[in-house]
Amino acid sequence: MNKFKENLVGWAFISPWVIGFLIFTAFPFLQSIYLSFTRYDIISAPQWVGLANYRMLLFEDELFWKSAAVTIRYAIISVPLLVVAGVALAILLNNEVKGIAIYRTIFYLPSIVPTVASSVVFLWILNPTTGLVNNVLRTMGIQGPAWLNDPTWAFYSLIMMSVWHVGGSMVIYLAGLKDIPAYLYEAATIDGARPWQKLRHVTIPMMTPVIFFNLVMGVIGAFQYFTQAYVMTPNGGPQDSTLFYSLYLFRRAWKYLDMGYASAMAWVLFLVIVVMTAAVFRTQKKWVHYGG
């Protein structure tokens, strides 16, 4: 009886969270499954259409495949780039030199700036006429591109902006570097290993669990990329060059009020992320080294 009372008290304490989760997370999550098989515009009642939404997605909607291609392209370029940049930056900032704490803070600060605020700043930085980047290029005699107004450069402008937020993953890599036992480097030094050999045979292998974590989170984040694209190129950029999948999903849901179709898109995205994450997990046995 006492144990029952203890459990009851525990459930009473967590009940606000449980109720909130059931109402605001679990119910909408399950409801979206049903809505993905309907035609629903919020105003009128859902009408069952079966697999019509999914059939239209896969076989009739050109923008679906175009937005999927933009998102996959972004994931292929940005995720490895962020991993390499994060590891390289962490290695540089792992050196104990005077003022290193200040340098670490400077590189970390962009990752805590609100996404909308940083997007607005980059709208000014990449302005083709008055922006900082093109003004600097002009001083060197180079005519800068139109950036977000150019179908070729708009996509890479968002890639460039994503690298600016590398400080968040850098901190995690830095923590991983601090966890590498010093005796491994000492043994490598005794064996005559050079700095590059230590990096290749000691640092990188011991960092693979941290790299794996950031890789998984990067893949999940890349497929859900939305805020920066929405703020900087709300219409999908010139010639739909920045029409990311989540941006197109948002447009179908809130511009056209096609909630049934948007729910189907959301579930396709969910399944793709699950498959991609599972694929990354299957590779870890071949390259991730766990010290134990």
Which of 2 and 149 is assigned the larger pLDDT?
149
Shortest CA distance to 263 belongs to which of 274, 252, 273? 252
**Which domains does the chain possess?**
54-287 (1.10.3720.10)
246-291 pLDDT, tens digit per residue, is 999 999 999 999 999 999 999 999 999 999 999 999 999 899 988 6
Q: What is the pTM of this model?
A: 0.90
172-223 pLDDT, tens digit per residue, is 999 999 989 999 999 999 999 998 999 999 999 999 999 999 999 999 999 9
Tell me what the pLDDT averaged over the chain comes to: 92
Over residues 225-234, mean pLDDT: 94
> Nearest 5°: CA angle at 52, between 49 and 58?
160
57-83 pLDDT, tens digit per residue, is 999 999 999 999 999 999 999 999 999
Q: How far apart are the first and last CA of the chain?
A: 43
Task: Report how far apart, in Å, the C-alpha atoms of 238 and of each of 73, 145, 285 are.
Answer: 17, 14, 42
* Cα 187 to Cα 229: distance, rounded to the nearest angstrom: 48
Which amino acid would we find at residue 39? R
89-135 pLDDT, tens digit per residue, is 999 999 888 888 899 999 999 989 999 999 999 999 999 998 999 99
What is the structure's pLDDT at 8?
A: 86
> Nearest 5°: CA angle at 217, between 215 and 23?
165
Which residues in the chain belong to E strands, given as ranges? 38-39, 47-48
What is the structure's pLDDT at 86?
A: 94
Task: Report how far apart, in Å, the C-alpha atoms of 139 and of each of 117, 131, 147, 274 are.
Answer: 27, 13, 18, 48
